[in-house]
Amino acid sequence: MHVLLVAGARPNFMKVAPVLAATVARGARATLVHTGQHYDEAMSGVFFAELGLPTPDHALAVGPGTHAEQTARAMTAFEPLLAIAEPDVVVVFGDVNSTLACAIVAAKHGAAVAHVEAGLRSRDWTMPEEVNRVVVDRVSDQLFATSADAADNLRAEGYGGERIHLVGNVMVDTLLTHLPAARGGPTLARLGLTAGGYGLVTLHRPANVDDEVVLARLLDALGTVAAACPLVFPAHPRTAARLRGRLPTGITLLPPAGYRDFIALQAGARLVLTDSGGVQEETTVLGVPCLTLRDTTERPVTVTEGTNVLVGRDPDRIVAAARAALADPPAPRRPALWDGRAGERIAEILIPGPGPAGSAGPSGTRQRIPTERTLVNTYGEQSGAPM
Ligand code: UD1
Ligand code: UDP
């Protein structure tokens, strides 16, 4: 069995790591492709080093660009590679442009496609990631959901139950693996911080940082919060250039943090303010109060069963929610199956039969996953020809 895994941007690397490890442990051949959507040491290299990821078998050097440019470059680079690699299954992660590009190419090539983090829906079509999520699920054969609400979304859209697998959250696998070292590491001391003595900020959604007026209002709100609780802000490259020279007092700008540093910063924070998807999930597991500066979330389980509060972009609302969270932090809870074993569950489904390496069955046996990419409408009729 040959499993090809695609990673491209920062939030992919911590998701691919546990699935790759579990794939290899089950005796399958694994090929790792890095599209190069993210390429800086701080956005890519540091994660390979810290997460113990191998050098990618193929690096596509896609780089930045408009959505069409970036997606097209990933597609044209991935297509010939796939024709040579001929994997049994292509595994894509999350909702970034690299995920979309490689899922479409794999589906048209006739490869089986597995989507890790399927079924998340913000229902906000202005988010490029929402377009990616819906399209990737539509061309995927196996849909691995992190939470029951995501599996419900897929069923409501007509996906057959045999393709939907509620497996838990691979991002949490990686978090739990690295948390002890992160907590015990030098991050806070190096930055002159003490646990519980600061808040943490990340912002990179175009809707928040590309619009001058919205960004100014968010910075006003953050400045008010910082008067009560100093804030550290490791800034995504999209955001960093826009912040220079205009940060309110009490906010310390940092470069994008490495994985362990960032986990340590989250774990020690009194409060996190973010528009990241993954950070909503990690703060839930860490039991750290999280305010999400967006109007929607594709991860509602972090609100219903975690520490996340959706506060939108209105400064007064953000400041009021921050005061409430500082005064009365929510009790930590954790969604079902966010237990550190999601990668293993995925590998067991992708690579049926043999157990971990050593007890492996016949290698090289092609075990194609069924490719019935049909939807069932609400009347129980099938729609959409198999692709
Ligand atoms: C992308 C994803 C977003 C994800 C985010 C995680 C899409 C549509 N967006 O957004 O879902 O939440 O990654 O971080 O796929 N840049 C650098 N160095 C890098 C990478 C990017 O300087 O290593 C700069 C470039 O100027 C680039 C800009 O950041 O133009 C944006 O990068 P891009 O990958 O296009 O989108 P993100 O905002 O990172
Ligand atoms: N992260 C990191 N350093 C940072 C910011 C985030 O290591 O400076 C990690 C974070 O812990 C999580 C992932 O990156 O594991 C989330 O990625 P990001 O916020 O870029 O993307 P999103 O989840 O919003 O798609």
* Domain residue extents for the chain: 2-169+337-386, 181-334
Record the tokens describing residue 211, joined without a space: 């619009």
pLDDT score of 332: 77
Q: Which residues line ligand 2 (CB under 6 A)?
A: 10-11, 14, 171, 202, 234, 256-257, 259, 262-263, 276-279, 282
pLDDT score of 244: 83
Record the tokens describing residue 216, joined without a space: 């100014």
pLDDT score of 38: 98
- CATH fold of 2-169+337-386, please? Rossmann fold (3.40.50)
**In the 3-class helix/strand/coil scheme, how is 259-323 assigned residue by residue?**
HHHHHHHHHHCCEEEECCHHHHHHHHHHCCCEEECCCCCCCCHHHHCCCEEECCCCHHHHHHHHH
Q: What is the pTM of this model?
A: 0.94
Which parts of the chain sit beneath pLDDT 70?
Answer: 354-374, 376-387
Distance 63 CA to ligand 1 centre (A): 9
**In this predicted model, what pLDDT tens digit does every residue of 290-319 receive, in sequence order?**
999 999 999 999 999 999 999 999 999 999
- The domain 181-334 belongs to what CATH superfamily? Glycogen Phosphorylase B; (3.40.50.2000)
The enclosing H or E element of 350 equals helix 342-350
Q: Which residue out of 38, 165, 204, 236 is catalytically annotated?
A: 204
The three-state secondary structure class of 168 is coil
pLDDT score of 376: 62
Helix axes 10-25, 342-350, angle to 10 degrees: 60
The CA–CA distances, whole Å, from 236 to 17, 40, 256, 282 equal: 22, 11, 6, 18
pLDDT score of 368: 43
Distance 287 CA to ligand 2 centre (A): 17
- Nearest ligand 1 atom to alpha carbon 278: 12
pLDDT score of 144: 98
- Nearest ligand 2 atom to alpha carbon 235: 8
Q: Which ligand is nearest to the CA of 100?
A: 1
- Known catalytic residue at 204: yes
**In this predicted model, what pLDDT tens digit does every residue of 133-147 receive, in sequence order?**
999 999 999 999 999
pLDDT score of 317: 98
Record the tokens describing residue 306, joined without a space: 């975690």
Rounded-to-integer distance, Cα 181 and Cα 120, Å: 30
The enclosing H or E element of 75 equals helix 67-85
> Does 2-169+337-386 match 181-334 in CATH topology?
yes
Is 43 near ligand 1, meaning CB less than 6 Å away? yes
Q: Which residue has the tokens 């826009």?
A: 242
Rounded-to-integer distance, Cα 120 and Cα 111, Å: 23
Rounded-to-integer distance, Cα 338 and Cα 146, Å: 8
Is 133 near ligand 1, meaning CB less than 6 Å away? no
DSSP state for residue 10 in the 8-state scheme:
H
Q: Are strands 89-93 and 112-116 parallel, antiparallel or unpaired?
A: parallel
